[in-house]
Amino acid sequence: MSNRSATETAAAQGAWQAAHRRSLTDPDGFWGEAAGAIDWDRRWDRVLDDGDAPFYRWFTGAELNTCHNALDRHLAQGRGAQPAIIHDSPVTGSLRTITYAELQARVARFAGALRGLGVGQGDRVILYMPMVPEAAIAMLACARIGAVHSVVFGGFSARELATRIDDARPKIVVAGSCGIEPNRIVPYKPLLDDALAQASHQPAHCVILQREQQPADLLPGRDLDWTALEAAAEPADCVPVAATDPLYILYTSGTTGQPKGVVRDHGGHAVAMTWSMRQVYGVEPGEVFWSASDVGWVVGHSYIVYGPLLHGCTTVLYEGKPVGTPDAGAFWRVIEEHKVSVLFTAPTAFRAIRREDPEARHLARYDTSSLRALFLAGERCDPSTLEWAGDILGVPVVDHWWQTETGWAIAANCLGLEQLPIKPGSPTKPVPGYDVQVLGDDGYPVPPNTIGRIMIKLPLPPGCLPTLWANDERYLASYLGAEPGYYLSGDAGYFDEDGYLYVMSRIDDIINVAGHRLSTGGMEAVLAGHPDVAECAVIGVTDQLKGELPLGLVVLKAGVDRSEADIAAELVALVRDAIGPVAAFKTVLVVPRLPKTRSGKILRGTMKHIADGTDYRLPATIDDPAILEEIQAALAAAGYGDS
């Protein structure tokens, strides 16, 4: 897909190699230089502090304010009249543009409102918000006064919200009255009320943003109206905080029980976000950057709110879908109308567009000449989708790989460092700062084209998680315990002979539904709670649109004589209520038995191969191979596998 000469290709590879090599051999010099792009209230004592390894810290001794760097700094540089946020909402038929000056004024006033409610440095604030500018305003307001925000995606259920409330123990919850989908309104306030009824911890107040589509009833004494609160507040100044203080907590998607709260610090995050905007995405201050995600996910934190604003860009906050709002030309309209330079979205979005409009007829109605590049991430991008997008748009399509835990790209084609040749199916090469290695079970690197565990040699670069919220032990056990000195990505893959990385699958029980990491174990816990279910398993089955879809398999208790269809419908409803619609859990099959090892472990991976119709090796430890024939017959009858 590249017409560059061999000389140009060599120069590009040289630029990447030089930057990557320096980031690993001279991290103090590399990241200290990058830190010059932001304002500091106090300079650091050390760039990389390894005094408490493996708990590495970046820019220890330094002080700064993330909100100042995202807003006030740009006003001082003359960007006050530049649009900061474009809120494009086809689901409400509205369009709002907020300049940097207007955004700074609103953030300062809402920060004052939070301070007036007793929120101070280090206090937590949970945000349960739809895709509106006030979500970003609340995040930045927390950062302005040194509070720690934790955004919970509005699609999650009351139970999931309750677990996060109990873990973060927020002083305040900020919520919208409702979210809006193309064909329905989703009331948020009843979910919040239900969550607080379940939670042990009770916040002092709930601040409710009333949306005209469905205002909420407020509980006197506890609930406060956002608009009235903001109007009466005195603006708050930026509070300097330690670079190593937490900026936010983001709980990994789909967890149940005790969730894992990924922590992001102020200093390393600000440096990484600012560096990545130019060097990974190739955008300059003043340009329009659009990340078609949600503020509830890590992409929304990094590249709807913080990254673009730290870099002085205009960011698009889109409340709509790739298709159906109103049609498969929605993305092209946004690009034309707002002169988007770089678009970042999930492969799922382009699969949906392609399904609805395979000939890209809608594209002919719009001028997308402002677009220079398309970035895809969230789940593995199949080569056909990447090539289709590149063909219709005529721009580089960059598949890149990262995680909630890292906060920004681990592997990418860094357009700011020069574009490397594109290999469909690969997110290209590790980004500077990341020492990515593929290790075998013996802990040693495997040869090229050999699948192993994708690991990152410590220290992780700035912007990655320094730990889990209030749980250092779990951080060590979950991420650093597999191999001493390495971070376990949880993904499996390989390097090819050119050093390109290929990420093939998860090595645990997390499935990826439309870019949302969801725990099959959490879904199994819900299924197991049904009175008629004896055993169950949930596997992720490959889906052309969403990447993976969960499929439940259950064994009923002896003596159950109810309709299997009725039980399956009840189970689907239970999972959707407990996990939320985001799980896309729609199918349950009743099977006579589940295949297991002799030690009792259910062979989920083998069942996934059968459901996907792919080859598999009969596990040596299987208890009864005949069970696989029963599973294959049940899956084939339901339309799965090579039937």
Domains of the chain (ranges plus CATH)? 510-637 (3.30.300.30)
- Please answer whether residues 151 and 129 qualify as being in contact, where contact means their C-beta atoms are separated by less than 8 angstroms: yes
Is residue 599 pLDDT above 50, yes or no?
Answer: no
Residue predicted with more confidence, 544 or 564: 564
Dist CA 57 CA 51 (whole Å): 9
pLDDT at 597: 61
* H helix runs in 146-287, sequence order: 158-168, 189-198, 226-232, 266-279
Q: Which residues contact 346 (CB under 8 A, 6 or more apart)?
A: 292, 293, 376, 377, 378, 379, 514, 515
> pLDDT tier at 509 (50, 70, 90 boundaries)?
low
Is residue 254 pLDDT above 60, yes or no?
Answer: no
Is residue 6 pLDDT above 70, yes or no?
Answer: no
Residue predicted with more confidence, 329 or 346: 329
Between strands 373-376 and 340-345, the pairing is parallel
Asked whether the bond before 83 is cis by omega within 30 degrees of 0, the reply is: no
Q: If you count them, how many residues does the chain have? A: 643
- Please answer whether residues 72 and 276 qualify as being in contact, where contact means their C-beta atoms are separated by less than 8 angstroms: no
Q: What angle do CA 386, 389, 392 make, to 5 degrees?
A: 145
Instruction: Please give the torsion angle defined by the CA atoms of residues 575, 352, 183 and 520, in that order, rounded to the nearest 10 degrees.
Output: 10
> pLDDT tier at 34 (50, 70, 90 boundaries)?
very high
> pLDDT tier at 252 (50, 70, 90 boundaries)?
confident
Residue predicted with more confidence, 154 or 487: 487
pTM: 0.82
Is residue 569 pLDDT above 80, yes or no?
Answer: yes
124: which DSSP letter? E
- Nearest of 553, 551, 540, 552 to residue 513 by alpha carbon: 540
- Please answer whether residues 348 and 515 qualify as being in contact, where contact means their C-beta atoms are separated by less than 8 angstroms: yes
pLDDT at 9: 47
Task: Write the CA distances from 390 to 183, 416, 566, integer angstroms.
Answer: 31, 19, 45
- Nearest of 101, 142, 106 to residue 121 by alpha carbon: 142
Dist CA 150 CA 468 (whole Å): 13
pLDDT at 358: 84
Asked whether the bond before 326 is cis by omega within 30 degrees of 0, the reply is: yes
243-258 burial by CB neighbour count: b if 16+ within 10 A, else e?
A: bbbbbbbbbbbbbbee
Least trusted range by pLDDT, from 492-501, 600-609, 632-641: 600-609
pLDDT at 521: 67
Dist CA 131 CA 86 (whole Å): 12
Q: What is the mean pLDDT of residues 297-301?
A: 94
Is residue 71 pLDDT above 70, yes or no?
Answer: yes
Chain-centre distance of CA 575, in angstroms? Answer: 21
Is residue 1 pLDDT above 50, yes or no?
Answer: no
* H helix runs in 122-258, sequence order: 133-145, 158-168, 189-198, 226-232
Dist CA 55 CA 435 (whole Å): 17
> pLDDT tier at 215 (50, 70, 90 boundaries)?
very high
pLDDT at 5: 46
Residue-wise pLDDT for 49-64, tens only, equals 999 999 999 999 999 9
Tokens of 511: 């499935």
Is residue 283 pLDDT above 50, yes or no?
Answer: yes
Q: What is the mean pLDDT of residues 165-192?
A: 95
